[in-house]
Structure 1
Amino acid sequence: MLMDAARSSLLIVDVQENLGPVMAEPRQVYRNCTMLLRAAARLAVPVTISEQYPKGLGPTMGELLAEAPAGVVMEKLHFSCAAEPAILTRLRGFDRPQVVVAGIEAHVCVLQSALGLKAAGFEVFVVADACSSRIVGNHQMALSRMAAAGVAVVSTEMAVFEWLHVAGTPAFKDMIKLIK
């Protein structure tokens, strides 16, 4: 089961100004989410960005918003994006069976979103190195639980190279600059 740009959408979960800085390795999460957003833009993969209670946790990190298309940020109160009717409707509206998920916290909103999307019939891929939790052990447990439930646990480079599918294209040449 490979990720396919023509069959995927990207979901970035709650990488927000007041939440991001307290995560383990926040810069890695920002860098890898940014790479995913750039690859999605280059390969026409639709994007959704969730924000958990932005009045309290702030907006999405500015560096991610700078790479995001207009109109993709959606507020939520449920921990799971799959439990938020507007987000689930948006993801279904893309008519793409795969959802590639990144964000924070891995053991709360990412986990519940991934499991909920899987239960809703999507093929779900969680990008481990574009996710984090405040406590590393919670991140690791979340990845193990998702994998045991049939969610594919992948890396940022796996997602980008599977979306690219082939070397030598203009898209490959653009993306390889980001990876190096």
Structure 2
Amino acid sequence: MGRKVKLDRATAAVLVVDVQDRLTPAMPEETLARLVKYARAMIGAAKELGLPVLATEQYPKGLGRTLPELRELLPSPPLEKTRFSCGADPGFAAALESTGRRQVIIVGMETHVCVFQTTRDLVAMGYEVHVCADAVSSRTEEHRRVGLELCREVGAIVTTAETAIFDLLHEAATPEFRKVAPLVK
């Protein structure tokens, strides 16, 4: 029997990992555009459905700030870190723990470094991690692909933001669906 992979809005949180303005020019244009579209959709859906949203910035002095088109949607400023893994950062770990949520939906970059290491650590800490393949990027497609494989290898569920959003919605005939569905078009 497989694992339970159903997202629950009472137990899920969204994590935006290091989508920073000095890092984004190194990303493939199409991959970055898709990441921004689906990260915005995931953040918007989280806000509509009452999920906490946490964001991080890796060494912002060097890598810059979260992209404005994502930052404008965040409910609180990103947490600064110097460790690649959010899970290894005591400030982030405490912030996530304080949400009381046990499912973490991840979007961000780079897939094979910060996203993977965060996933590995959060899974080891007992979180159920869902990594959105359509909302993560790396400088090369090979790095992104291998990063996703590594996330799956350590126990994450590799999904898409659209899959996660519709899983959280559960049904179409609701006011939330009418507000959230346009975010993924």
TM-score by length of 1: 0.97
RMSD: 0.9
Residue number among 78, 84, 100 corresponding to 1:73 in the alignment: 78
C-alpha offsets along residues 37-72 of structure 1, whole Å, 9 cap, x if unaligned? Answer: 100110010011000010111100000011111x24
Q: What runs of 5+ residues in structure 1 fail to find an aligned partner?
A: none
Matched residue SS, 1:81: coil
Alignment partners' CA distance in 1, 2:184 and 2:115? 24
Alignment partners' CA distance in 1, 2:89 and 2:78? 13
What's the CA shift for 1:96? Answer: 1.0
Q: What does residue 6 of structure 1 align with?
A: 10
> Is residue 2:26 matched to residue 1:22?
yes
> Is residue 2:103 matched to residue 1:88?
no
Conserved in 2, the CA contact under 8 Å of 1:47 and 1:72? no
Residue number among 54, 78, 87 corresponding to 2:60 in the alignment: 54
C-alpha offsets along residues 89-111 of structure 1, whole Å, 9 cap, x if unaligned? Answer: 11111111101111000000000
Q: What does residue 167 of structure 1 align with?
A: 172
Residue number among 43, 47, 72 corresponding to 2:49 in the alignment: 43
What's the CA shift for 1:171? Answer: 0.5
Q: What does residue 63 of structure 1 align with?
A: 69
Alignment partners' CA distance in 2, 1:79 and 1:51? 10
Matched residue SS, 2:14: strand
Matched residue SS, 2:87: helix
> Is residue 2:86 matched to residue 1:110?
no
Q: Percent of aligned pairs with the same residue?
A: 40
Conserved in 2, the CA contact under 8 Å of 1:106 and 1:132? yes
Q: Which amino acid aligns with 1:22?
A: A
Q: How many residues align?
A: 179
C-alpha offsets along residues 130-166 of structure 1, whole Å, 9 cap, x if unaligned? Answer: 0000011011011111112211000011110011111
Alignment partners' CA distance in 2, 1:153 and 1:123? 11
Matched residue SS, 2:83: coil
* Worse-matched range after superposition: 143-152 or 55-64: 143-152
